[in-house]
Amino acid sequence: MFENAFDFSALSDLADLRVAVYLIVAAAILWLAKAINQACAGYSLNDQLTKHDNKAVAVSFAGFLFSLCLVIHGILTAPASLKVLEADENAWLIDLGSTAAWAGIACVLLLISRIFNDKVLFPKFSNKKELVTDKNIGMGAAQAGSYIATALVIRAVLGDEESGSFIAELGAAVVWFVITQILLFVFCFIYQKCTRFDLHAEIERDNAAAGVALGGSLIAFGLLLEFFVKRYDSIGSLVVWGIVAAVLLIITRCVVDKILLPGAHLDDEIHKDQNWGAALIEVSTAVGVALLIQGSFF
C-alpha cells in the first residue's frame, strides 16, 4: 500500500486530449438536447427558468439533463468502449461517434418517456399545464424521477459486448425501454394502492411532498431494474423481479412509517401536512435499500 505514493506518472492520463474532446462533445450534446427538449415541450425553457423563475420546470429539466448524463456515463464506461479506446490511437474516434449517436437515441427515448408519463402515469391532467401554468414542483419531481428511472435501464444495456452489432444493441435497448415503461406503470399502480391518499389528486393540487416521494421511489425502482438488466437477459424474469422490487420498496415505505417516523403516519405527513421533509426520508431510504440490494449480489 502506498508504494507509489509519490509516482506522478498517472497524471499523464489526465492530460490526454481525448478527454477534452469527449467533454466538448458531451457539452454539445447537452446543448442540443436542451433545444430538442424545448421544441417538444411547447414552451420556452429560457423564459420559464429565468423570466418566470419556474422551479417546477427547473426540477423536471434538471432530471432530464442528469438522465442524459447517466446514459453518456454508461456509454463511456461500458467494457466495449474501454476496449475500443485501448485498441489503437484512432479507434477512439469511432467510439466518439458511437457516444454521440447513443446520446441522441437516449434523448429520443427520454422524450418518449415524458409522453408516457403524461398519457399513462398521470392521465387525469396535463403535465405541461401543471409545470408551466401551476408551477407544480411535485409534478416536476415526479417527471424527473421517471426520467432518471428510464435512463438507468437504458444505460444498463449499452456497450454490451455480446450484442454483436449496433442494430442488435439498439433493438435490445428499445425492448428493455418498452418493458421498463410498463413496469413503471405497474409500480405506480402498486404504490397508489398502498397509500391512503389519491396520488394523482395530491400532485394535481401542487403537493410537492407527494411528487418528491413518488419521483424518488421511481428512481429506487429504476436502480433495481438496472441491476437486473445488467446481469440477466430474461424478459419473463424481469417482469417477476419488477413486481418483487415494487413489493420490497413498499415494505421499505412501511419501515419508514413505523420505525423511522414513529408517532406519525407517513401518509398523513405527505397528504395533510405536505411535509416534503418526510418525503425525503422515504426517498433516501428507498434509494439506499435499492443500492444495498444491488451490492448484495456482487
Asked whether the predicted pLDDT for residue 82 surpasses 50, the reply is: no
pLDDT band of residue 151 (cuts 50, 70, 90) is very high
275: exposed, middle or buried (Cβ count in 10 Å: 0-12, 13-18, 19+): buried
> Whole-angstrom Cα distance, residue 203 to residue 207?
5
pLDDT, residue 170, reads 80
> Whole-angstrom Cα distance, residue 74 to residue 150?
13
The closest alpha carbon to 286, from 235, 252, 238, 245, belongs to 252
pLDDT band of residue 15 (cuts 50, 70, 90) is low
Question: Phi and psi of 52, rounded to 5°?
Answer: -100, -5
Q: Cα dist. 181→149, 178, 187, 212, 218 in Å?
A: 9, 5, 10, 19, 11
Least confident segment among 61-65, 118-122, 224-228: 118-122
0.85 cut: is pTM over it? yes
Q: 181-221, pLDDT tens digit by residue?
A: 999 999 999 999 999 889 889 999 999 999 999 999 999 99
Here the cell at position 49 is 427558468
Pinpoint the alpha helices (H) of the chain. Answer: 11-14, 17-41, 45-46, 55-76, 79-87, 91-116, 127-128, 137-156, 166-193, 199-204, 208-231, 235-255, 266-271, 276-296
Instruction: Round the average pLDDT of the chain to a whole number and report it.
Output: 85
Q: 89-113, pLDDT tens digit by residue?
A: 566 677 777 778 888 888 888 889 8
pLDDT, residue 298, reads 67
pLDDT, residue 164, reads 56
Q: 49-77, pLDDT tens digit by residue?
A: 999 999 999 999 999 999 999 988 888 77
pLDDT, residue 10, reads 65
pLDDT, residue 239, reads 92
Asked whether the predicted pLDDT for residue 231 surpasses 60, the reply is: yes
pLDDT, residue 250, reads 93
Here the cell at position 200 is 394523482
Asked whether the predicted pLDDT for residue 88 surpasses 70, the reply is: no
pLDDT band of residue 4 (cuts 50, 70, 90) is low
Phi-psi region of 206 (alpha: psi -120 to 50; beta: other; left: phi over 0): left
pLDDT, residue 8, reads 65
> Whole-angstrom Cα distance, residue 133 to residue 153?
31
pLDDT band of residue 79 (cuts 50, 70, 90) is low
> Whole-angstrom Cα distance, residue 292 to residue 131?
34
pLDDT, residue 142, reads 93
Residue type, 19: V
Average pLDDT over residues 125-135: 90
Residue 126 CB neighbours (<10 A): 15
pLDDT, residue 5, reads 64
